[in-house]
Amino acid sequence: MHDSDGHLNVSRRTILRASAGTTALSAVGSARADDSDASDGDALGVPRLDRDCPDATIEPSTTHCEGAETAGCADDHPATTELRSAVADSLERQYPDADALIDAGYKPYFDTLEMGDDSWSHWLNPAFIGDDELVDPERPESVLVDNDTWRSIGVMFIATSDGEPVDSPAVYGGDDDEQLCSPWHAHTGVPGRFAWWFYRLAYERDGDAERLEFPCRTPCMLHVWTVDHPESVYAHDAPPESYRDQPPADDPGFDTDAAPGEDELGWDVLPSEVVPDRTPDELLPTDPFGFDLGV
């Protein structure tokens, strides 16, 4: 999910493997699948699409959500400092590390199509994604974790209700001549769209992909970093690793031979009950997906 505008950090070969040649990738744009291709999909039950995604790209890309605006965002604005402080307090009390996230019902996602900085991961909570709360520090839809220390470093709010995308609220501004701060973005590149599709497949559909369409874009998302960031509290990419210099988390309570600060957090160090039957990297090199990526 962590891709950057204007930075091609996923190879064309990787995308071709993902689509297994079923999509015309000769140009970035839209391509409608032939009606005859709209089948029930392959043995996994992954459906093919028969619709256009005019904003979709092969490379990582994002788009501003409706009404989004960053010109008024400032790290020292009272609303920003209040939100960041509330998020930091919530993470410290409830979700400090990977061990606590598992206990709280969070599910891991480790980016597969990311060819750049993969030193951090997203952990998503289906219960919070499925409720009606938005921008609630006590119930963040996603927690961002440093894979070296296994510690939480921020959150990602996701604008959904009952798991479906909804309009995203401003953080502040827009009234009384105060500039609007609403730094929400949606992913339109294949890596981010694949990440959201995989989350729904693994954690909402229990691996049953029947008629689960590959999305044209993700719901709107908003990062709030609790560690220092050279760009902004709301920056899209994670801060450089040097800004995440924290002591490793305590040894986890789950059974593993790995240790924070010594071993990288990933699927291979987690307990089997939180690892899906098929991880993203296992899906990509297999038989053709049989769906149109919409590019």
For 283, counting Cβ atoms within 10 Å of its Cβ (0-12 exposed, 13-18 middle, 19+ buried), the class is: buried
Confidence of residue 285 (pLDDT cuts 50, 70, 90): very low
Long-range contacts of 118-122 (CB under 8 A, 24+ apart): 118/147, 119/146, 119/147, 119/148, 119/238, 119/241, 120/2, 120/144, 120/145, 120/146, 120/147, 120/153, 120/238, 120/244, 121/145, 121/147, 121/265, 122/1, 122/2, 122/156, 122/195
Q: Is the pLDDT of residue 41 over 50?
A: no
Confidence of residue 107 (pLDDT cuts 50, 70, 90): very high
Confidence of residue 47 (pLDDT cuts 50, 70, 90): very low
Q: What is the per-residue pLDDT for 294?
A: 52
Measure the CA–CA gap between 108 and 113, rounded to whole angstroms: 15
Measure the CA–CA gap between 1 and 202, rounded to whole angstroms: 15
Residue 225 CB-half CA count within 13 A: 20
C-beta separation of 113 from 293 below 8 A: no
The pLDDT tens digits of the residues spanning 168-183 come to 999 999 877 799 999 9
Query: Higher model confidence: residue 291 or residue 102?
Result: 102
Q: Is the pLDDT of residue 30 over 50?
A: no
Q: What is the per-residue pLDDT for 59?
A: 83
Residue 195 CB-half CA count within 13 A: 25
Measure the CA–CA gap between 113 and 3, rounded to whole angstroms: 9
H or E stretch covering 126: helix 126-129
- Indicate the average pLDDT of the chain: 80
Measure the CA–CA gap between 41 and 25, rounded to whole angstroms: 19
Rg (CA), the chain: 19
H or E stretch covering 156: strand 152-158
